[in-house]
Amino acid sequence: MSDTSSLSAAERRAHWERWMGVALDEARRALDTGDVPVGALVLDEAGRVIGVGHNEREATGDPTAHAEVLAMRAAADARGEWRLSGCTLVVTLEPCPMCAGALVQSRVRRLVLGAWDPKAGATGSVWDLVRDQRALHEVEVLGGFREDECGALLREFFEARRG
């Protein structure tokens, strides 16, 4: 179910936290290739997973291989079109400007995120590209789901790289 309007606030929170768990599992897959552990999935209007992705920049050498972009590409392929109207993107880290732009351009309805990114976040932290009045499409943003767990995965990754 992607439309959670009939659920109580506690039920909505539990719903998105369950999906964030799936995104966290996907994020951990990035560790196998030394990529930053960010995972994403796209849910269609009925709440079915139609796209998943994790960071693959190191694995592929592709600077655009962010989890969100890969999940949206898979979702567009599954739908047979680029428009992801009515879909929800669940991601473990607040999207960067590139990914926020892709959310707007693909017409994603809702973004559910784990950890906020106070250095490069573009959906409410540093910038808010997805709700800018000049954008062609506005994305609903719900944040802070399993934020501690999402943030800890990233901190552990960067601490291991530094030490």
Question: How far, in Å, CA of 93 to CA of 38, rounded?
Answer: 6
Choosing from 17, 68, 94, 147, the catalytic residue is: 68
Non-local CB neighbours of 157 within 8 Å, separated by 6+ positions: 31, 36, 37
Helix ranges (H only) for the chain are 9-29, 57-60, 67-79, 97-106, 147-162
In SS3 terms, 45-56 reads as CCCCEEEEEECC
Comparing C-alpha atoms, which of 60, 58, 84, 62 is closest to residue 71? 84
68 is catalytic: yes
* 150 known member of a binding site: no
* 87 known member of a binding site: no
Angle at 23 between CA 31 and CA 65, to 5 degrees: 60
Which residues are the active-site residues?
A: 68
> Which residue positions form the known binding site for Zn(2+)?
66, 96, 99
